[in-house]
Amino acid sequence: MSDKPVTRRNFLYITTGTFTAAGAASLIWPFVDQMNPDASVKALASTEVDLRPIAPGQSITVLWRGKPVFIRRRTPEEISEAKAVSLDDLPDPQDDADRAINPEWLVMVGICTHLGCIPLGQKGEYNGWFCPCHGSHYDTSGRIRKGPAPTNLEIPDYVFLNDNTIKIG
Amino acid sequence: MSDNYVPKSAVGKWFNERLPLLDLIYGHLMPYPTPKNLNYFWTFGGILTFCLVTQIITGLVLAMHYVADADLAFASVEHIMRDVNYGWLLRYIHANGASLFFMAVYIHMARSMFYGSYKEPRELIWIIGVFIFLLMIATAFMGYVLPWGQMSFWGATVITNLFSAIPIVGESVTNWLWGGYAVGSPLLTRFFTLHYLMPFLIFALVILHVWALHVPGNNNPEGIDVVKGSQDTVPFHPHYVVKDLFALVVFLIIFAGFVFFVPNLLGHTDNYIQANPLQTPEHIVPEWYFLPFYAILRAVPDKLGGVILMVSAIAILAFLPWLDTSKVRSAKYRPLYKQFVWLFFANTIFLGYLGAQVADGLFLIMGRIATVYYFAHFIVILPLLGYIEKTKPLPKSLSEPVLTKEEKEMLASGVTT
């Protein structure tokens, strides 16, 4: 190859080949991207929830973007239990204050961070949530304590619109 | 019998001269020289082809009545069961057919392992087989999602969440797979499309599998090379056509037993409850044929680690021809391997048992031991055995092991039988 002189034909081969490859590659994207969440799915991005009917020690589950979101009005014992935990005991260290805007209200995505099952409330060794699929235990702040799940239950973006209403998303 | 097809009719002649298709099929099904000592474990290739065709035909007609939409799928399956003429029969054949397909493929793979059919010069046949197995797993998993019952939905959730274990891009990949932020209609529709496509890809690979097989010819229970056209081979037709058909009839009796008497034995009652994204069933279990791999996934206390190990458990099969360092094929002549291969089969079945239990306490510890043994078989035991095992002397021909002393002397003195 190296002893042969570079010809006009070599140049044509390489440029034709490069343009064909780049053209074909650019066409792959529409075929890949069509599988991503579409406009109608993205439009359902936020949910408002009225908190008034929930008594202390009660939880509700609402759907947000097709995912369950747990909203729990925690009892004073649960809050003090969550605050008392040393961060050194946590596989995914996070302070309870960083997980609840108002300590009385715990709002989190109710999907186990292991493989997506829905944990059962007020069960497990830490009196928080327990995932029946592969045995992950979460505490009263939804933090992973024991089992295969890698991280704490996810906290969605939410704001208090007033004292009784939150907007998730 | 001649190797070339000679059409008898004028139409046959006209066609074959222009496209020698009949010639090709004839050559592979009629005179194809086959070792004369193949046992019934060699009939599963034919049984598996039958399974694939059955699944394609029943699947095709089920697709005429099924609706791939999260709101309608469950009802459309019930509609098939209750309203469609013979819908119950077609669906039970398709559902139990999948289970029996896996039963047959596991026996077929165990046969190859026991008799060393994956060894030189048959490595590529084995590797194509591993790809067929992979496609079967994907097809069966996606098919199980389609009825949109509780097990369908949560099985899909758990398995698609495996991709979220990928570092950095995990979440984008799962959202891309789902076409949303959770399992729902977009996933169901694309699973249906792929479930329809994959059997045809399997069919194409089966053609390559058989083509690659017919180059060196079949292995045999003695695991020795046979000379094509010698006294050690017989034509495929009628010898193995009849043997395969007999085995198929026995297989069909078992198949019919499942379909007509216990059609739901291998299924799960939770899948007759419509999918509910707000409630996970108490105990999620995959179909029985995935249980050993599920046990491996759960044996690891780390998400990414569990996923990697489960995928490796299947991928390692592709490297089997090189992990096994022994030159002797059949376990008949490998006294140590014979014990270890049975231990491997028992361990895999034990993993399957563990996969169906709740992963806690003693079950979890046993699951870890069995997982370690599964991999040790491939990366420690098999490579070492080739060096330390003293194999038995191999026979010179397929006849030798079954001849009496007198017959051998007659052969040695030059008298032909």
**Gap from B298 CA to chain A (nearest CA, Å):** 7
Structure tokens at B30: 């009629």
Q: Is the Cβ pair A38, B282 closer than 8 Å?
A: no
Residue B4, pLDDT above cutoff 80: no
Out of A62-66, B114-118, B269-273, B330-334, pick the least confident: A62-66
pLDDT tier at B78, thresholds 50, 70, 90: very high
Q: Is the Cβ pair A149, B190 closer than 8 Å?
A: no
Which of chain B's residues have a Cβ under 8 Å away from the Cβ of A68? 277-278
The yes-or-no answer on residue A134 being catalytic is yes
Percent of chain B predicted with pLDDT > 90: 76
Residue A45, pLDDT above cutoff 80: no
Residue B277, pLDDT above cutoff 50: yes
Which of chain A's residues have a Cβ under 8 Å away from the Cβ of B359? 134-135
Round to whole Å and give the CA distance between B20 and B43.
28
- Residue in B261, B379, B268 with CA at minimum distance from that of residue B313: B379
Residue B1 is predicted with a pLDDT of: 43
pLDDT in tens, B284-337: 889 999 999 999 998 887 778 888 999 999 999 999 999 999 999 999 999 999
Average pLDDT across chain B, whole number:
92
Catalytic residue among A18, A58, A80, A134, which? Answer: A134
pLDDT in tens, B352-393: 999 998 877 899 899 999 999 999 999 999 999 999 999 999
Residue B3 is predicted with a pLDDT of: 61
Residue A120, pLDDT above cutoff 50: yes
Half-sphere exposure in the Cβ direction for B341 (13 Å, CA): 21
Q: Is the Cβ pair B301, A66 closer than 8 Å?
A: no
Helices B123-145 & B87-115 angle (0-180, nearest 10): 150
Count of pairs with CB atoms under 8 A, one residue in A, one in B: 83
Q: Is the Cβ pair A66, B175 closer than 8 Å?
A: no
Say which of A61, A66, A131 has its CB closest to residue B182. A66
Instruction: State the best of A38, A41, A67 to mutate against chain B, taking most chain B CBs within 10 Å.
Output: A41
Say which of B179, B190, B279 has its CB closest to residue A118. B279
Residue B415 is predicted with a pLDDT of: 55
Percent of chain B predicted with pLDDT > 70: 98
Say which of A36, A65, A148 has its CB closest to residue B176. A36
Q: Residue B235 — left, alpha, or beta (φ > 0 → left; ψ -120 to 50 → alpha)?
A: beta
Which of the pair, A45 or A16, is modelled with greater confidence? Answer: A16
Q: Are B188 and B275 in contact (CB under 8 A)?
A: no
pLDDT in tens, B173-225: 999 999 988 899 999 999 999 999 999 999 999 999 999 999 999 999 999 99
Task: Point out which residues pair with A121 in neighbouring strands.
Answer: A129
CA dihedral of residues B338, B340, B341, B345 (deg, nearest 10): 140
Could you tell me the pTM of the whole model? 0.89
Percent of chain A predicted with pLDDT > 90: 29
B-side interface with A, Cβ within 8 Å? 154, 157-158, 160-162, 164, 175-184, 186, 190, 277-280, 282-284, 298, 300-304, 306, 358-360
Which of chain A's residues have a Cβ under 8 Å away from the Cβ of B282? 132
Structure tokens at B117: 């059919």
Which of the pair, B402 or B140, is modelled with greater confidence? Answer: B140
Residue B411, pLDDT above cutoff 80: no
Residue B417 is predicted with a pLDDT of: 47
Q: Are A56 and A74 in contact (CB under 8 A)?
A: yes
Residue B97, pLDDT above cutoff 90: yes
Q: Is B320 helix (H, G, I), strand (E, B) or coil?
A: helix
Residue A146, pLDDT above cutoff 70: yes
Residue with tokens 């694309």: B190
